[in-house]
Chain A
Amino acid sequence: MRLAFGQRFAFWRPRSRLPFAVLFKKFQSILDRNNHILEKMADMGDKLGGEYVFDRHYIEHSAEELSDMVFKLVSDFSLLNREKNSELFIASETVRQGIAAELSGKGLRRELGPRILPLAEIGLEHCDEVGSKLANLGEIHNRLGLNVPEGFAITTAAFADLVAPSAIAELLPQAARLWQDRDEAGLRRLAAEVHQRILVTPLPGSLASAIDSACRELTKKHGGSGVRFAVRSSATWEDGGSSFAGQHLTLLNVPPSQVAEAYRSVVASLFSFAAWRYRLERGYEEDETAMAVGCQLLVEGTASGVLHTCAPDRPSESMVIESIWGLCAPVVGGECATDAFILDRIPPYRSLATTLAAKTRQATADPRGGTCWQEVATERQHLPSLAPDQLQTLAETAMTLEGFFKRPLQIEWTFATGGDLTVLQVRPLSRWTSRLAEDGRDSAPQADATVVFADRGVIVQCGVATGRVVRVDSDRDLERFPHGGILVARHTSPRYSAVMGKVRGIITDFGSSAGHMATIAREFRVPTVVNTTIATAALHDGDRVTLDATHNVVYEGEVATVTGFIPIEEEIFEDSAEYRLLRRVLRHVTPLNLLAPQSENFLPSACRTYHDITRYIHEKAVEALIHLSDNHGASHSSAPRKLTAELPLGLLVINAGDGLDGAADDPEVSVEQVTSLPLAALLAGLSTPGMWSTMPLSVNLNSFMASFTRTFTTSLAGPKDIGRNLAVVMRNYLNINLRLGYHFTTIDAYIADNVNDNYIYFRFLGGVTELIRRSRRAICIAKVLERYDFRVETHGDIVLGRLKKQPAERMRQRMTMLGALLGFTRQLDAQMHSDSDVAHHAEVFIKAFDDHSAGDDHDHSVRQQPAPPAHSR
């Protein structure tokens, strides 16, 4: 064992010997920085929750702080492991540059990433790459299963290529100055020049051929010749924060051979005078603007039009559909008279009013390309352009979309020759949301409707939902979840994110508004009430109900006046540029790609984010410290000794001074030989047999220990994994890094007679397990720590506890408590089913530990050893 250990580190030869104390200090500094980085990351993540008001300064400042800390972390590590660590420095520099690019706006015109993305692969998360318009379309096709014209996006990365040549790039920044000087004529000239230069700039060869092959593939799939494209703008922010309606070019009926040229024209329209002025007026920065372009098959509609889910200037209970024969373009352009259908917003979507126009002509695809007008046969001119069943289909689709986007929408649509409804574009209508939201708030709850229950539980997301109750008890229920159902379940679960796009509302018996599911429900703006305690008893599968999550009432059936409420919040926080910027910056920071230290890609070169780098360094720093003391041998400290205990902790202990008894070169050390006061206390807590038996859970010591063993036998199986659990001890000092499964606990403690020197620092960090249980346990731990006088901070699944300046005996008891708590929570992981369990389990622990301590002799010495476990293995 010892030989293998030495061999493993044989490659390592110290170049110069630094005293162990110095290196250990570095190690502590690494841990310290590691903590600060994790805390900062969690702090930034918190800001995405919508609760905080933050500005650009915050993002810049935080990013700079993080970069600085990570750089110093790598530097410290280099001193500890005596290597250059070039790959780590490169990784951190790459991340830093990525963040800098985001902050400078160049992240949007990312040089990386695909130039072409098929619509089938696009979702809302791609809005930076493909613009909001195409991201919306991709989302409703791929998530809601609605028909949209097949096609692909030419991304903002391609745009970055196109405007990169200096002849264009150097002109762009002039716009802001001209605008500031109110020099409209100058801006007009600039716009004309940029526009022209883009039109004459050749596409990069690779882009031209990529567009060509994407077109050819679609052409082949759809029967060869005759396929035509609609080439549409999808600028960043278009149909997102601002509509940019009609500002950019759309070209219809483009033959495949001309798509590349059409692409260039659409991009150029970003720099038309009107469009440029529009975004300068609205405060868009030049470098946060980029144009993605959608190339979709042209759908030759028999009837097309625009639907507003909330009829402008009408009561909020109605939607309006304007429609004509033929292609949709004339409706949007306001070029001809349209039929108007006003419908109820609730099923069965009764017709409230119909106005038919004389539709003398229709737009149609010109065989020569583009569109042309065509006379409408006299007998059809006065016929309604939509049949009742088409109106129904449209209304249903519109309400599905509104339910999904949670705000009134303007929807462009067409009925294709085959009769299928195709959605061409979905645009949020922010202008009306405010008024309608007021209406909603002002309406009194319904007196005549039958209330199933009211004022039970906690509102997570306001809004109103109508639909059938769908009881979810298992993953299979989720797989079968129908579109538009109201999810009713015992507990909240982040697994429901799988159906969030289909769910109209959520009601649970238990759960908290701070849970992960709650966060997701808010993200999807699904009206949600949790912790009602009676939802599953009162609501049955298939019941039709109306959930008014704004007033916290569940009604039987569909309550028409209630559903008049618009299920939206008027300020959509995610629309702010700062929110998006922070989210983009965090993409370089928080994702964790290095999961298992055993895996092959646990390498510095595989680090993609700051999280990866800190994770890697933490793991390797512990390893480095072990082999460092191993190599230095007894001259500076003891070699690591393996703790032999009933507790299979897999713990290696380095004695940095009076922390262990017995021969320094003994490869093992027993619990009895631990003279370090803090470690002895911690071990006593970990193995306290008395309290476990009082647990109401099905916990016995055997299974408790088994849960420890499972982790460590597997990790000990491979030599690479040894030493993940490491303690450095002195008589009054302990630094311990415990990895239990994927959870990390760090304790740094000093306990001696001088009260002022005493401290315990405790950090618990969840790993890659199921989010919700992880954070529940974090809350449970936090509650317990607070009960025992710790100053506690929690950030997501990180718990930090600090205790200072208490007398030695009390500090010792607290260490024992921490030991017991570690064991307790380890076992508890599988037991925490709902948020309500958290408080319960915390209380159970506190009571058990206090009972145990009460029977304890307060005068026992540090060296007093715990009794052997009741059920030893």
Chain B
Amino acid sequence: MTTPSDSSRLRLLILDDEPIVCKRLKPALQKLGCTVETFTDSASALARLGESAFDLVITDLKMEGLDGMKVLTEVKSSSPATRVVVITGFATMETARESYRQGAFDFIAKPFRLGDLLDCVRRIGSELGKDLSQATAK
């Protein structure tokens, strides 16, 4: 397995105020060949998004402070090319519809199968022409 150069990697930011979500997603996504940064508070995540470009943001919806919907709208307005996937434990038709309206690429209800999220990231990877490993996470 050759190590892809950084520009060919999918750059990914995860924001969830429950550390377990970051902890579980990060290694699995790294295994796919993404570069992954994780945040548990939206302020630092937004600050980081202001500094650097990401291909994909995975964000929780309901958090302390700035909620995920705001993160979604800010990302889409400042960097429309960035894909945003919303993951939430409070999934309703309403929030799903609103997320898509705001430009979310996908909307995933928690708890979710790790494999489902990886499939979603692979889809985004192939849309963006980034080569992701086919390895499946356990």
Contact = CB atoms under 8 A, between A and B. Distances in A.
Q: Do A and B interact with each other, yes or no?
A: yes
Interface of A: 47, 50-58, 61, 283, 434, 441-442, 462, 569-571, 573, 576-578
Given A47-B111, A442-B1, 5 more contacts: A52-B111, A53-B24, A53-B25, A53-B112, A573-B24
Contact of A576 (B23, B25, B114): B23
A434 B31 CA distance: 11
B20 A51 contact: no
B18 interface: yes
A248 B7 CA distance: 45
B114 A51 contact: yes
Contacts of B19: 283
A578 B20 contact: yes
Contacts of B114: 51-53
5 contacts: A53-B110, A54-B110, A55-B20, A283-B19, A576-B24
Given A57-B18, A61-B89, A569 B112 contact: no
B80 interface: no
B1 A51 contact: no
A53 B1 contact: no
A571 B112 CA distance: 18
Contacts of B20: 53-56, 576-578
Contacts of B23: 571, 576
A55 B115 contact: no
When A and B form their complex, which 5 residue pairs have the shortest distance between CB atoms, in order from nearest?
Answer: A54-B111, A55-B18, A57-B89, A52-B111, A578-B20
Contacts of B21: 53, 55
B42 to A, nearest CB: 16
Interface string B6-41: 000000000010111101110110000000000000
Contacts of A50: 138
Interface of B: 1, 16, 18-21, 23-25, 27-28, 89, 110-115, 117, 138
Contacts of A57: 18, 89, 110
Nearest to B1: A442
Contact of B24 (A61, A442, A569, A571): A571
Contacts of A283: 19
A57 B88 CA distance: 10
A575 to B, nearest CB: 9
B-side binding surface: helix, strand, loop or mixed? helix
A571 to B, nearest CB: 5
Contact of B115 (A51, A56, A434): A51
A286 to B, nearest CB: 16
Contacts of A53: 20-21, 24-25, 110-114, 117
A51 B112 CA distance: 8
Contacts of A573: 24
A193 B117 CA distance: 48
Contacts of A577: 20
A570 B113 contact: no
B69 to A, nearest CB: 17
A465 to B, nearest CB: 17
A570 B111 contact: no
Query: Which of A51, A283, A441, A576 neighbours the largest number of chain B CB atoms within 10 Å of its CB?
Result: A51
Contact of A55 (B16, B28, B113, B138): B16
Contacts of B138: 50, 462, 569
B32 to A, nearest CB: 13
Contacts of B113: 51-53
A51 B1 CA distance: 25
A56 B117 CA distance: 19
Nearest to A55: B18
Contacts of B25: 53
A53 B114 CA distance: 6
Nearest to A47: B111
Contacts of B112: 52-53
Nearest to B133: A441
Given A53-B110, A55-B89, A441 B1 contact: yes
A811 B68 CA distance: 47
A666 to B, nearest CB: 53
A462 B31 CA distance: 15
Contacts of B115: 51
B53 to A, nearest CB: 26
Nearest to B40: A283
Contacts of A441: 1
B107 to A, nearest CB: 15
Contacts of A56: 18, 20
Contacts of A462: 138
A58 B111 contact: yes
A402 B67 CA distance: 44
Nearest to B25: A53
Contacts of B89: 55, 57-58, 61
B27 A571 contact: yes
A707 B102 CA distance: 61
A55 B23 CA distance: 11
B68 to A, nearest CB: 13
Nearest to B88: A57
B26 to A, nearest CB: 9
Contacts of A569: 138
B85 to A, nearest CB: 13
A569 B28 CA distance: 11
A283 B111 CA distance: 22
A61 B91 CA distance: 13
Nearest to B24: A53
A56 B19 CA distance: 10
Nearest to A54: B111
A292 to B, nearest CB: 24
A359 to B, nearest CB: 42
A89 B56 CA distance: 50
A184 to B, nearest CB: 21
A577 B138 CA distance: 19
A567 to B, nearest CB: 13
A56 B138 CA distance: 21
B110 A58 contact: yes
A861 B113 CA distance: 48
A577 B20 CA distance: 8
Nearest to A49: B113
A275 to B, nearest CB: 21
Nearest to A438: B1
Contacts of B117: 53
A837 to B, nearest CB: 27
A441 B138 CA distance: 14
B110 A55 contact: yes
A53 B137 CA distance: 12
A668 B21 CA distance: 60
B111 to A, nearest CB: 3
A57 B28 CA distance: 22
